[in-house]
């Protein structure tokens, strides 16, 4: 539409067309945003919409339980083993306000997990309303390269690939009619205190670690693989945990192990910290010390033992020298000793004969 006022320059005419074009652009943009909002709104609403028999978790708020409770305005809980048909409920809750903004407060429902029943005006069970569960969340950090649980090992060689294993009962949120899976965020805090929203894999591709949809348990996010050797990640100790804040459950019930997992400290290092930085020095120092000790001990032990032996050996020649003269003195008389040993057999008779002859001669001279 052009301006009705004549303008030879066409300034006003151009301005009017520009304004009209901007209005059309704005209307189109708003329409697109509205369509996107309408498409997302059912999914958002489904997370809070609780049907009869669904599970709700301690800490959740803003839940629409009108379908689960029905026309009844009260719900009740019985201890395990109680006769529900005849006994009064052990705990009750009345919907004084709206059933479309229900909060599962830990103070009211924390001591009464399990089935909550609809109660009719006479406080008799009128069918199941929903189940109240205590959430649990655990995150395991795994060295994918060598197949080691870093949660226990506490360190990885720099350059190994790391991935995650989520263990939780919050996957039951996906069982709600039309509900998307529970979104769980993995937190990785760098040694300098910064927290990553994405991790880079070995190809250099970053992967978001926030709002991970988890519909099964345990669950390994298949695309999230962390290359610890990337230059973006310096050596040092990283703190890793997971958390879930669906329907503000963490804000209302931020208990470790429930809506927040236990933190894992992971050391990204180029050497085995169980051995230590000074591995070569320790080994070299230790080995010579052992060898010196062993050699020294052997030497000291052996030398004293050898020394007495040497003394004995030294003394032996002296004894031999003393003995040798005795052997020489004994050896020369040997022939002499041998001759007398032969004479007693012949000498005695000869002597007797000689004495007899002398006696005979002496008697002849006397006569």
Question: Which of 203, 296, 183, 312 lies closest to 250, judged by CA?
Answer: 183
Return the ∠ at Cα 237 (arms to 194 and 186), rounded to 5°.
55
* pLDDT (0 to 100) of residue 355: 66
**Domain 137-269 class, CATH top level:** mainly beta
* pLDDT (0 to 100) of residue 289: 44
Structure tokens at 251: 């804000």
Distance CA 289, CA 295 (A): 10
* pLDDT (0 to 100) of residue 276: 58
Distance CA 170, CA 326 (A): 109
* pLDDT (0 to 100) of residue 317: 42
* pLDDT (0 to 100) of residue 222: 94
Please state, in angstroms and as integers, the Cα–Cα distance from residue 252 to each residue in 58, 75, 105, 222, following that order.
Answer: 8, 22, 8, 30
Distance CA 123, CA 76 (A): 8
**Quick one: how far is CA 311 from the chain centroid?**
65
Please state, in angstroms and as integers, the Cα–Cα distance from residue 334 to each residue in 274, 314, 328, 343, 347, following that order.
Answer: 85, 31, 10, 15, 20
At 164, give phi and psi (nearest 5°): -130, 155
* pLDDT (0 to 100) of residue 98: 87
Helices 333-342 and 344-366: crossing angle in degrees, nearest 10, is: 60
At 126, give phi and psi (nearest 5°): -130, 40
Give the pLDDT of the chain (367 residues) as one tens digit per residue: 444 444 433 333 444 554 455 556 555 444 433 333 434 444 444 699 999 999 999 999 999 999 999 999 999 999 999 999 999 999 999 998 789 999 999 999 999 999 999 999 999 999 999 999 999 999 999 999 999 999 888 999 999 999 999 999 999 999 999 999 999 999 999 999 999 999 999 999 999 999 999 999 999 999 999 999 999 999 999 999 999 999 999 999 999 999 999 999 999 998 887 775 544 444 444 444 444 444 444 444 444 444 444 433 343 444 343 344 444 333 434 333 333 344 344 444 455 556 666 666 666 565 5
* pLDDT (0 to 100) of residue 275: 74
* pLDDT (0 to 100) of residue 208: 97
The single residue listed with the structure tokens 């007693």 is: 344
Q: Domain locations in the chain?
A: 1-46, 55-133, 137-269
* pLDDT (0 to 100) of residue 89: 97
Distance CA 267, CA 263 (A): 13
* pLDDT (0 to 100) of residue 115: 98
Helices 333-342 and 279-330: crossing angle in degrees, nearest 10, is: 50
Express each pLDDT in 293-318 by its tens digit: 444 444 444 444 444 444 333 434 44
CB 69 within 8 A of CB 118: yes
Sign of the dihedral through C-alpha 37, 40, 43, 44: negative
Residues 6+ apart with CB under 8 A from 16: 1, 2, 3
């Amino acid at each position: 539409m052009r301006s009705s006022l004549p303008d030879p320059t066409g300034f006003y005419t151009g301005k009017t067309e520009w304004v009209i074009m901007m209005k059309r652009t704005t209307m189109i943009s708003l329409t697109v945003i509205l369509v996107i909002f309408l498409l997302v709104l059912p999914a958002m609403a489904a997370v809070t919409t609780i049907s009869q028999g669904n599970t709700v978790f301690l800490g959740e708020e803003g839940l629409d339980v009108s379908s689960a409770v029905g026309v009844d305005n009260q719900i009740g809980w019985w201890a395990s083993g109680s006769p529900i048909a005849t006994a009064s409920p052990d705990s009750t809750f009345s919907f004084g306000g709206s059933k479309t903004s229900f909060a599962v407060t830990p103070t009211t429902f924390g001591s009464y997990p399990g089935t909550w029943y609809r109660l009719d005006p006479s406080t008799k069970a009128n069918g199941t309303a929903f189940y109240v569960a205590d959430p649990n969340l655990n995150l395991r950090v795994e060295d994918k390269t060598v197949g080691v649980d870093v949660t226990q090992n506490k360190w990885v060689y720099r350059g190994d690939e790391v991935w995650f294993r989520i263990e939780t009962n919050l996957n039951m949120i996906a069982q709600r009619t039309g509900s998307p899976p529970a979104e769980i965020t993995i937190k990785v805090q760098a040694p300098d205190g910064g927290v990553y929203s994405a991790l880079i894999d070995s190809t250099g591709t970053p992967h978001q670690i926030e709002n991970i949809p988890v519909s099964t348990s345990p669950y390994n996010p298949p695309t999230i693989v962390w290359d610890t050797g990337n230059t973006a990640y310096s050596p040092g100790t990283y703190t890793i945990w997971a958390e879930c804040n669906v329907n503000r459950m963490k804000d209302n019930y931020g208990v470790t192990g429930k809506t927040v997992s236990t933190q894992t400290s992971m050391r990204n290092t180029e050497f085995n910290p169980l051995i230590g930085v000074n591995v070569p020095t320790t080994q070299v120092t230790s080995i010579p010390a052992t060898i010196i000790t062993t050699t020294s001990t052997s030497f000291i032990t052996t030398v004293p033992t050898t020394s007495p032996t040497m003394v004995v050996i030294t003394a032996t020649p002296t004894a031999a020298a003393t003995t040798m003269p005795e052997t020489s003195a004994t050896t020369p008389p040997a022939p002499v000793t041998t001759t007398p040993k032969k004479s007693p057999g012949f000498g005695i008779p000869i002597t007797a004969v000689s004495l007899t002859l002398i006696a005979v001669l002496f008697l002849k001279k006397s006569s």
